[in-house]
Structure 1
Amino acid sequence: MKIKLIVSILLTTIFIRSTESVKHKNVLQNRTVAEVKNSLEKHEDALSEVLKHKTGVNPIKITNVTQAKIKPFVKKEKKILRMISTKSIENWAQRLSEVFFEIESKLVKREELLSAFSDAMMVARNGTALVNKAADALEDLLTRRVKAAENIMRKAEELDKDETPPPDNYVFDHSVDLDKIKEKKIPNQKGWFMPQNCTNLQKVPLNENPKVMKHIYWTEGLLSTFKKNYAQDATTDFQYFCSAKGFLRHYPAALWDDMHQLKLNTDDVYDCRLRSWYVSAGGAPRDVLVLLDASGSMNGSSNQVIAEEFTLALLSALTDDDQVNVLYFNEKVNSLIQCFNQKMVPANHVNSAAMMEELREYTKVNETKVDYALKYAIKLLRKQRLIRDRPKSCQQAIVLLTDSMYDNYTDLVRHLDPGNNIRLFVFWLHDRYGLRDDTRRLAEWLSCARDGYFAELITHADVTEQVMSVLRVLERPLVAQRDHRLRVFSDIYAHIEVDPRRSEYHWTQKENAEQLYRYKELRKDKRKLLDPKRMYEDWMHQWKLDPRRSEYHWTQKENAEQLYRYKELRKDKRKLLDPKRMNEDWMHQWKLNEYGQYYEGEELNYRLEISVSMPVFDATTAENITIQLMEYPVNRLLGVAGVDIPIDHLKLILPYHQLGAGGSIILVDHRGNVVLHDNLKPTFDGDVLRPGYRTVDFLDLEQPAVSHLPRQYLPDWLKFRRNLIIDKETGNMTMYAKNIYEDGMRATLENRQYFWRRVLDHYTVVVALPTPDAHWAGSESQFTMKLAEAALKSLSRTDFAVQPDWWGFVRLYCRHVEPHFDSREAEVLHFIRRRSDEPNFAMKKLNHIFSPIPPLLLEKTYQCDEGLMARLCKDAIATDKWAREHEHPHRARDCSTCELGSITTFFASENGLTRWQVHHATSEHAAPVEGSVWARGPREAWYRRAAHRPAALHVHAPARRPQLRRNSFAPPPPVPVSQQWLTAARALTSPDKGIIGVTGFHFYPSHLDDLLNSITKFPCAEEDEESCEVSCDGETWMCVVVDEAGWVVAPRGGAGVHLAALHPAAMAALLNASVYQLNWLHDYQSVCFTSTNKSSAALMVPSILKSLWRSIALVLRVAQEFIGLLTIVNAGASVAAETVKEKMKRSNRLRKNYEADQFESLYDDRVLVNRTRFAACDRTRPLYQLQHTRAAADALRGGPHPCRWPLAGALVPRTNLLLLALYRPCAPPEPRPPHPQHNRQDRDNWASLEEAFTQYGVSI
């Protein structure tokens, strides 16, 4: 049946196709049968004549065939390219402007708001008064914290005099296991030390040192002082005492894991004695030179590992005030980093991390020349003493790490340093069971003669204590400070950064997670023996045996990426190894490093802070050190007392609300490093601390407006920095600078006036104000009951929002010290209600009363800013009528006729109040959003832009760049709603040019796209094409709207599109015609990623031998399998007689062989993660600025020309927009205009950056 069916289908198909072919042939005219018969007879006669006369055939003319009429070919005329006229583009731009201002007039109603603020008093913004107010507030806070630390210090010295031993049953609360039930301790042999002779019955537990227990016992008396400090000021943060014995007592009590939110799968590495605030309080600045033995005897030995560990610990213990270098020596002396030769560098995190990284790379060959190293080191330290501005109290020390000394170098060092200005520490690296020589005797002579210290480094456990021994010797200058205590303000650091190298550790964790994810995918179907968790645990166990395990912070992320690839490989090997997929993975890593498109959000609050610390001395002031000497003065460091000051607390005492839209407050320490700045970025990839986040210089964030190459600071800016940090305690200067905002994607070039004042000889407060922003509605007023009552009535009836950055721990607006309300608006309303009800309402209540009964809401501690609260209430009263407009029965919220769809109108004041109205439209794009999404007021990007040019309506399109996470399987960062909408904003100004606030409306981008298409693209019939006006059809011409920075506003297509990427030829033409000017933004806080995989490019002999060995192994394996096959074939009887146990053994062996073969078939090098290390580097991105000059206007008025001027453009009147019609067929120029979304690393590629500078007429 099937064959018949197929045959019938084929016949039908042939018949249909033959019928169709007949239809397409030329058919003859209709003729009768007689005519056809006559025709055939004539053809037959002609054929017979041809056969008779084959040699002379004459052509015969056939006259009875119909002639086909062929239509002659008409050559199609070439389509003439028609240009969009300048008049057309200007009309379209005018139409866009009319729509924007029509909506503003109809719905925003600026006139009503202006009339409501008609009585607002405008005052001049006084930078000197602002910096004095900020400096006074900071000095008051620091003084209170110094007093609290001093109270702890006095109490600790008093308690140390008590010699009462702790009772036998004494226990203490260990913050590491506060949440765990304590078990009764049962002595066992593992916890006790048994002498080798076994004759002494005295036993000492290893985990309980009696001397440490004594100090832990008496420090419990500090609790009363801690509580007293907190009772006097409830805003006091963590208080602590770090003992020289190695423990930390802190208040308030907290679980250690809760204090340090970053969970790590490693042992606790925290040692408070190695923190910067402890080391700084322990002595003056230091010049430390580390000499590492790099002779052949060190290569591959345990001495090498211990020397590296010691160097890492010592570098971590030094502070930014110290100078350091690490030199390795054999027959020559060199620095670990070539550019550090013949110099000392600050011991900051960037330099220390670079030297730590190079510790693995230096070569160890030849013999040891200690005398060469000592001569080099002493000469370098003598040179260091001559440096300008070097502190007089600075100590100098040489730390020598070697495995042998053969000569006495005491006389040599005495000759090189006759003034005994340099201390010398010698550490002997050797095996405890190895051979002994004269190294101990010679090293002791040398170190003791130079007021240093000698010790043996044998095991890993010796490292930390020997580092502390070095620091204790360097603490000796503290003898003169018992009466005049040193108060130390630390540099900025992360509260949960318990180890300086934790960022590297965390990055390793991410790479490990990536690798693990891929491995799980690969091994998903394996049995328990090959379970991915088991395999990973085994692998991690081996990895943790590495003494440098603390550096795989970053690698954990790469492990996660590796695991993801293995998992994908297991699912579908061909899909994962597809060239397209491989290219996507490669591009992901490429964009991270080459374009700098890594995620810069902060998902983990590291709680940046500074500390105030003071040294605490032992009660002993003199002791007999020998029988021959008299009493010798000593000052042993008992510990360090300190108090934390979170950066968030500093923000809340500073007058941010008086700065206006473009102003900023900056806090700089005595080294010029930034402590507080709006553009400080401490993290990347969500939760990894950036290298060098503590040492960001003032000039790294405040950049001149003039174009310059990275790190080539202008002379006038260097002079400005020196005046601000060193020469002048107070002053002001006006500089032409970049005001950078919106995560570094935008900047305004403007004259900025800087005011500064020194605070306690350590910090400098800087206030920066744009010079045009001279007046604001900020007259001082009182927070009265009447004012609060009227504001409460207004705010209770409508929606509103307050600036979230100003609503914090204790200040700006009002807030309780201990959070109580869920929202900032509810808490502000609470305090307005209290003020309206309480005649004697106090603006702050910071005294805490300790009681077992929890305090009521009205009894809790709080603090308010009276001036800000009063101005907030005035803004609420003035905008009450505007906010309640929709309550009127004849005014609905319908916006069906709005050409931009559903919108949200708003008013944002200088004092942080935001009020809004929602207008609905029937639209398929998006519903309107509540105005609380944009609650940051003066800190919003559109607010800054509107305040910079008050007369224009600014349409703001959020400028975003792609942000990639390290782990490809991790979800991309969510895009906030505020960055999905466009904003049209215009400053609300008083007649005397003072800024009251900003008004405008938010709308969805797709509505603007529809409006642009309706204006610039209109239908035209094909026959009327020549007479129709040229429009943007999307094929030959494309119309776009861009802002003054070149970012595309419409059509949005994808978020963050720039004209330089959308149409490089058009941007190149605009740059060459000076319509746009190119500048540069340098990002000195960037991160770069270097691969840890190192391979040889040449074919080495070991590789050839390895290939030969693999071939031999393959031959042996084939022979083994062949012999096994013969054995099985010839052993039929014996196989039948196997026992059950033998069968199971053979089955297991076959299964293991099968799984091994299966694993080898799944393995592929292309699945492995490209592991990287991150390091601090400089990146540069372009900044485009629209020029409002005559030359730019003339260029836009010129007509378009294909590819020479591939555009027609016109400014949208009274806005910041530029409407462009782009000619699409043009090829992009070479080189292309730089892309603002590419944060390029140009520090090592000066040629490309200089080419980009000169290509488009930028002077450098």
Structure 2
Amino acid sequence: PGSPRRASRGASALLAAALLYAALGDVVRSEQQIPLSVVKLWASAFGGEIKSIAAKYSGSQLLQKKYKEYEKDVAIEEIDGLQLVKKLAKNMEEMFHKKSEAVRRLVEAAEEAHLKHEFDADLQYEYFNAVLINERDKDGNFLELGKEFILAPNDHFNNLPVNISLSDVQVPTNMYNKDPAIVNGVYWSESLNKVFVDNFDRDPSLIWQYFGSAKGFFRQYPGIKWEPDENGVIAFDCRNRKWYIQAATSPKDVVILVDVSGSMKGLRLTIAKQTVSSILDTLGDDDFFNIIAYNEELHYVEPCLNGTLVQADRTNKEHFREHLDKLFAKGIGMLDIALNEAFNILSDFNHTGQGSICSQAIMLITDGAVDTYDTIFAKYNWPDRKVRIFTYLIGREAAFADNLKWMACANKGFFTQISTLADVQENVMEYLHVLSRPKVIDQEHDVVWTEAYIDSTLPQAQKLTDDQGPVLMTTVAMPVFSKQNETRSKGILLGVVGTDVPVKELLKTIPKYKLGIHGYAFAITNNGYILTHPELRLLYEEGKKRRKPNYSSVDLSEVEWEDRDDVLRNAMVNRKTGKFSMEVKKTVDKGKRVLVMTNDYYYTDIKGTPFSLGVALSRGHGKYFFRGNVTIEEGLHDLEHPDVSLADEWSYCNTDLHPEHRHLSQLEAIKLYLKGKEPLLQCDKELIQEVLFDAVVSAPIEAYWTSLALNKSENSDKGVEVAFLGTRTGLSRINLFVGAEQLTNQDFLKAGDKENIFNADHFPLWYRRAAEQIPGSFVYSIPFSTGPVNKSNVVTASTSIQLLDERKSPVVAAVGIQMKLEFFQRKFWTASRQCASLDGKCSISCDDETVNCYLIDNNGFILVSEDYTQTGDFFGEIEGAVMNKLLTMGSFKRITLYDYQAMCRANKESSDGAHGLLDPYNAFLSAVKWIMTELVLFLVEFNLCSWWHSDMTAKAQKLKQTLEPCDTEYPAFVSERTIKETTGNIACEDCSKSFVIQQIPSSNLFMVVVDSSCLCESVAPITMAPIEIRYNESLKCERLKAQKIRRRPESCHGFHPEENARECGGAPSLRAQTVLLLLPLLLMLFSR
């Protein structure tokens, strides 16, 4: 609904401008004077009208009055941030301890069961295979290993069908289900079932518990059916999961040497690259590495990192993978030069004190060695043999195997031969079990905690989602050792047990009501990576929601970026307890608005874990808490009202402790608790007391809203659709003035409307913004739609309710209304037609063709414009010259923001594609390889398929991927509160443009009236679009080398004098399926 102008306005304006320009020639036109007094009148009329409507329908004055009545009965307390963070850390410590104790019980049971078991090569045992359970043949009989396994949906496991009495076993597709080693392992580990069940009984908040065997099978509780992917493959191998590797080994420094001499051409180089990639998969955030390719010279895969090691975080590993594709084979292999360089790097880097300061290893990937290089090993590594040598012989020829095996055996390492791509993963895994030996001999069951991650690799098992998408979790894991005396010096690792802990479990221990409106808690790892933080964004949207590639290694400094010197981050990494303060710029409303405030941060460590906890409290109202007091009877009565709801993501009562409570909403749980009907319920008494108080104080508003709805005049205020309130305790009330089906915005205040409801991370947007307004004034906004065209059709207005008339007063509640945009705009246009003159002749009107009238908010977004399509747009994009002048005059200020979790369009083609184009031989080879592999797959379900699927799918996705992680900079704009009105003139190329901006009383709005006869096109629009921060090559290199302060894990088992190093590899590992005899067909083709 725009101003009622003639349709020909645009054309006639242009005609008038042309005639005027012709008449005056080069003389610059004088600007049109817009009378400030008239604009002030309009603003006052609109402000009075809209505030009257907002106050009337929200009931703000009634609620303010009700809280004032209780003023003398409440006690206001300043929150002691340090005490609060210590208490929260203690709560989390207890919760984490319960999880680790559950895992410890599994370790004890597993080791005891294995000790009693005698290996039987002929053991026949029908176990529950997770892929085959409940499967029948064409005759209706259960398949072998596929017996009946009762599954039932369970709400604790997201309604997935599970068996909470038994576990079942997953075996990777490339392994033989009935291999004696697997059957024996499955048999003795069956005794874990009763411990799984017992753990779940003791702690019903536990989710998946599991045992990952060193032999490759994965026992999981509760039992669940696994479904293969579309290729009939389950590529999941528990041994390359982070929790397994972290628990099995100690932190390590690794130098990978890759032979790129002429003999490595073709398939051999492809296998070598895949081997390097698989080794990288086994490295974690506590490890350090570098990759050197060698022929007659040394070639650092990343030349910038010459002579040093880099942390094995995801970003660095992906960077190296991209460079791997550029390797090509030529020349002669001079291994002695490479070995000398590797030993020197490890020694020098160890002396810097930056690395793991634990295990060290050299990984050698080659098709042969003409010498044993014992003089080099004698110089650098003997007699202690602190650097292990792992050798990978590429190809089928065994002529040089003896030399490579000797190197590994003489240096406490391991030798394997990798003949095909299908062999890579299994052979790479061997080194982990060698590195685990000192830990096993020490019999040190270190508890490890992973960083936060979403493990989507388990097809069914990890399909735990909440309303916001996949569940973020951390895993607690412990290694399981062989206790048999005869194997002690061999240090045999049996596997790893673990359980997952959803990060939302942590959030349940945090009393959000004690943190204030803008306050929050967050936790980080020993590497400074975020475990939980309200600003952590896991997903991005491109067609559909996708997981960001680097979501698990977002550093605290990337979200609390105002702390340029990492003072807060480093103190937390170093497990200090203390306080830190800084001014912050917090974005809200999809990042389009900014709130500038001062935060006080309190932090401490969470004992028994590698995590540290922080709490942020905003200065002012955010640091105060009050206690009200009413009787349980009064409060219960007012909680029974049907319009009352509570924040379901807040933890008023712990409904996870007993299965019979899981179906209860928080409100239902509170009522049962207060009535004494559920004595087993554990609830937060302090929070419930405040909920009762808020319920009693806010109860009269229900009758008030009802009377308004009954007496609502037919025509005047039909645009008001919803009234709502929220209190500091997460209590909400909602009243509809129209039928639910008639609501313009059907999603508002529903569970999916995360921005506008209380959730685990933050208060509703309308509450947070109202709290920063001057008390008694309303904040108006239109919701930003996610679609490019869908414009919002509603306006939300809200105001805060304060207990006292001073800065220290807590904001106890916020109330508001939502109305139709058309209704709101009509009120604006009506007000803008008023005149000050007695004769009714207006000196200026928004209907005039020479002016444009706008209503904008304090962040510069348009709520009303004569062009309806501009609603919701940023004012600077429409009137760039005026916005520029407002910034110059200080009416608005620009705030520069940074996004270190952004996703940008990739500006380069994938190196895979380019490589194929530049190297016809490579392209031909790839094509032949594809044809041959397809042929073999057609003949028989071939073991290569798991490699083929995972590798080629990854490459296909890489080629298709259009967005990649990047850093961006973008502006936000905020009005200067002290400036109520401004007039201005802008000198343009051939005219002068005048404007008036006037604040709307008791609001966050401004009326802007602009002279439209002067277009001023020479001034570019001001955009809010983010700009990618590009780093030049030298800066990229510095960023790669730069290592932030981190705290290495407390335990290290890199070496043990009793270790028996005689088991150091030999024959290629036993492959599962006889069809692998077909591999020579491919090898003959590629090894020539």
Q: Is the 8 A contact 1:618 1:638 kept in 2?
A: yes
1:343 shift after superposition: 3.0
Say which SS state the counterpart of residue 328 (structure 1) adopts: strand
1:1048 shift after superposition: 2.0
User: Equivalent residue for 2:551?
Assistant: 693
- Say which one has the larger Rg: 1
User: Equivalent residue for 1:297?
Assistant: 263
Structure 1 segments unaligned to the other structure (5+ residues): 1-72, 188-204, 504-600, 624-631, 705-712, 845-862, 965-971, 1103-1167, 1248-1260
Q: Out of 1029, 1032, 1038, which is 2:846 matched to?
A: 1032
In 2: Cα distance, 1:693 partner to 1:1100 partner: 34
User: Equivalent residue for 2:349?
Assistant: 384
Q: Is the 8 A contact 2:899 2:969 kept in 1?
A: yes
Say which SS state the counterpart of residue 798 (structure 2) adopts: strand
Q: Out of 357, 367, 382, which is 1:403 matched to?
A: 367
1:1088 shift after superposition: 3.0
Q: Tell me how many residue pairs correspond in the alignment.
A: 915
Change beyond 3 A, Cα 1:922–1:401: closer
Change beyond 3 A, Cα 1:465–1:1239: same
1:1227 shift after superposition: 5.5
Q: What whole-Å deviation, never above 9, does each CA across 1:534-561 have from its counterpart, x for those lacking one? A: xxxxxxxxxxxxxxxxxxxxxxxxxxxx
1:448 equivalenced with 2:409 (yes/no): yes
1:952 shift after superposition: 5.6
User: Equivalent residue for 1:740?
Assistant: 587
- Which amino acid in the other structure matches residue 971 of structure 2? P
1:95 shift after superposition: 2.0
Q: Out of 86, 93, 103, which is 2:36 matched to?
A: 86
In 2: Cα distance, 1:264 partner to 1:1241 partner: 38
Change beyond 3 A, Cα 1:1078–1:821: same
Q: Out of 390, 410, 433, which is 1:472 matched to?
A: 433
- Which amino acid in the other structure matches residue 131 of structure 1? V
User: Equivalent residue for 1:307?
Assistant: 272
Q: Out of 834, 850, 853, which is 2:672 matched to?
A: 834
In 2: Cα distance, 1:748 partner to 1:714 partner: 19
1:346 shift after superposition: 1.8
Q: What whole-Å deviation, never above 9, does each CA across 1:296-354 have from its counterpart, x for those lacking one? A: 3323x221221122222211122111112222222333333344443322212222222
Say which SS state the counterpart of residue 177 (structure 1) adopts: coil
1:270 equivalenced with 2:236 (yes/no): yes
Q: Out of 66, 73, 85, which is 1:116 matched to?
A: 66
In 1: Cα distance, 2:741 partner to 2:434 partner: 76
User: Equivalent residue for 1:249?
Assistant: 219
User: Equivalent residue for 1:649?
Assistant: 505
Say which SS state the counterpart of residue 887 (structure 2) adopts: helix
In 1: Cα distance, 2:963 partner to 2:334 partner: 35
1:947 equivalenced with 2:763 (yes/no): no
Say which SS state the counterpart of residue 469 (structure 2) adopts: coil
User: Equivalent residue for 1:173?
Assistant: 128
In 2: Cα distance, 1:308 partner to 1:245 partner: 25
Q: Is the 8 A contact 1:108 1:999 kept in 2?
A: yes
1:355 shift after superposition: 2.2
Q: What whole-Å deviation, never above 9, does each CA across 1:274-308 have from its counterpart, x for those lacking one? A: 11111111122111121222223323x22122112
Change beyond 3 A, Cα 1:485–1:652: same
Say which SS state the counterpart of residue 131 (structure 2) adopts: helix
In 1: Cα distance, 2:254 partner to 2:1013 partner: 64
In 1: Cα distance, 2:803 partner to 2:420 partner: 75
Q: CA RMSD, aligned part only?
A: 3.9
Q: What whole-Å deviation, never above 9, does each CA across 1:1166-1190 have from its counterpart, x for those lacking one? A: xx9994454322122212222235x
User: Equivalent residue for 2:248?
Assistant: 282
- Which amino acid in the other structure matches residue 244 of structure 1? A
- Which amino acid in the other structure matches residue 995 of structure 2? L
Change beyond 3 A, Cα 1:386–1:822: closer
User: Equivalent residue for 2:728?
Assistant: 910
Fraction of identical pairs, as percent: 23
Q: What whole-Å deviation, never above 9, does each CA across 1:964-983 have from its counterpart, x for those lacking one? A: 8xxxxxxx9x99xxx75322
Q: Out of 1175, 1194, 1197, which is 2:964 matched to?
A: 1175
- Which amino acid in the other structure matches residue 853 of structure 2? C
In 2: Cα distance, 1:1220 partner to 1:696 partner: 42
User: Equivalent residue for 1:753?
Assistant: 600
Task: Flag the structure with higher helix content.
Answer: 1
In 2: Cα distance, 1:123 partner to 1:983 partner: 32
In 2: Cα distance, 1:371 partner to 1:927 partner: 72
- Which amino acid in the other structure matches residue 752 of structure 1? N
Q: Map of 1:551-570 to 2, 5 A cutoff?
A: none
Change beyond 3 A, Cα 1:380–1:1101: closer
In 1: Cα distance, 2:20 partner to 2:125 partner: 110
1:186 shift after superposition: 8.8
**Structure number with higher relative contact order (C-alpha < 8 Å, ≥ 6 residues apart):** 2
In 1: Cα distance, 2:758 partner to 2:582 partner: 27
1:1211 shift after superposition: 1.8
User: Equivalent residue for 2:946?
Assistant: none
In 1: Cα distance, 2:21 partner to 2:273 partner: 83
User: Equivalent residue for 2:1044?
Assistant: none
Q: Out of 504, 511, 515, which is 1:659 matched to?
A: 515
- Which amino acid in the other structure matches residue 469 of structure 2? N
Q: Out of 797, 802, 820, which is 1:984 matched to?
A: 797
- Which amino acid in the other structure matches residue 334 of structure 2? K
Say which SS state the counterpart of residue 679 (structure 1) adopts: coil
Q: Is the 8 A contact 1:612 1:643 kept in 2?
A: yes
1:1243 equivalenced with 2:1030 (yes/no): yes
Say which SS state the counterpart of residue 386 (structure 1) adopts: helix
Q: Map of 1:630-779 to 2, 5 A cutoff?
A: 633-685=489-541, 686-704=544-562, 714-715=564-565, 718-726=566-574, 729-760=576-607, 762-774=610-622, 776=624, 778-779=626-627
Q: Is the 8 A contact 2:722 2:817 kept in 1?
A: yes
1:1213 equivalenced with 2:1007 (yes/no): no
Change beyond 3 A, Cα 1:181–1:818: farther
Change beyond 3 A, Cα 1:390–1:80: closer
Say which SS state the counterpart of residue 675 (structure 1) adopts: strand
User: Equivalent residue for 2:98?
Assistant: 144
In 1: Cα distance, 2:394 partner to 2:959 partner: 36
Q: Which piece of structure 1 moves more, 770-779 or 1221-1230? A: 1221-1230
Q: Is the 8 A contact 1:950 1:988 kept in 2?
A: no
Task: Flag the structure with higher strand content.
Answer: 2
Q: Is the 8 A contact 2:905 2:964 kept in 1?
A: yes
In 2: Cα distance, 1:1069 partner to 1:680 partner: 36
Q: Out of 361, 364, 369, which is 2:326 matched to?
A: 361
User: Equivalent residue for 1:796?
Assistant: 640
In 2: Cα distance, 1:156 partner to 1:645 partner: 21
1:139 shift after superposition: 0.3
User: Equivalent residue for 2:171?
Assistant: none
User: Equivalent residue for 2:699?
Assistant: 880
Q: What whole-Å deviation, never above 9, does each CA across 1:471-498 have from its counterpart, x for those lacking one? A: 112112304541x421101111113244
Q: Is the 8 A contact 2:881 2:1019 kept in 1?
A: no
Change beyond 3 A, Cα 1:241–1:950: farther
Change beyond 3 A, Cα 1:378–1:341: same
In 2: Cα distance, 1:1066 partner to 1:643 partner: 59
1:673 shift after superposition: 0.4
User: Equivalent residue for 1:859?
Assistant: none
Say which SS state the counterpart of residue 370 (structure 2) adopts: coil
Change beyond 3 A, Cα 1:290–1:498: farther
Change beyond 3 A, Cα 1:1006–1:1169: farther
1:1016 shift after superposition: 3.0
Q: Map of 1:809-1208 to 2, 5 A cutoff?
A: 811-813=651-653, 815=655, 827-838=665-676, 841-842=678-679, 844=681, 863-888=682-707, 892=710, 894-896=712-714, 898=716, 901-920=719-738, 926=744, 934-936=756-758, 939-951=763-775, 953-958=777-782, 960=784, 981-991=794-804, 993-1016=809-832, 1028-1033=842-847, 1035-1051=849-865, 1053=869, 1056-1090=872-906, 1092=909, 1171-1172=960-961, 1174-1188=963-977, 1196-1198=982-984, 1206-1208=994-996
Q: Is the 8 A contact 1:902 1:927 kept in 2?
A: no
1:209 shift after superposition: 0.8
1:180 shift after superposition: 2.5
